[in-house]
Amino acid sequence: DSGVTQTPKHLITATGQRVTLRCSPRSGDLSVYWYQQSLDQGLQFLIQYYNGEERAKGNILERFSAQQFPDLHSELNLSSLELGDSALYFCASSPLGRAWGEKLFFGSGTQLSVL
Binding mask 71-100 for other proteins (x = CB under 8 A): -------------------x-x------xx
Neighbouring C-beta atoms of residue 1, cutoff 10 Å: 8
- Residue 107 lies near other proteins (rule: CB under 8 A): yes
Q: Residue 87 carries which DSSP code? A: E
Structure-derived torsion over alpha carbons of residues 88, 91, 74, 84, reported in degrees to the nearest 10: -20
Smallest distance, other proteins to C-beta of residue 36, A: 11
Using CB under 8 A, which residues numbered 8 to 67 contact other proteins?
33, 35, 41-45, 48, 56, 58
> What is the C-alpha to C-alpha distance for residues 37 and 89, in angstroms, rounded to an integer?
6
Q: Which is nearer to other proteins, 28 or 101 (CB)?
A: 101
- Residue 70 lies near other proteins (rule: CB under 8 A): no
Three-class secondary structure of residue 105 per DSSP: strand
Count the residues of the shown chain that bind other proteins, applying the rule CB under 8 A.
Answer: 24
User: How would you class 67 by CB atoms within 10 Å of its CB: exposed for 0-12, middle for 13-18, buried for 19 or more?
Assistant: middle
Smallest distance, other proteins to C-beta of residue 91, A: 8
Which residues is 50 bridged to in the sheet? Answer: 31, 53
Positions in the binding site for other proteins (CB under 8 A): 2, 4, 33, 35, 41-45, 48, 56, 58, 90, 92, 99-101, 103-109
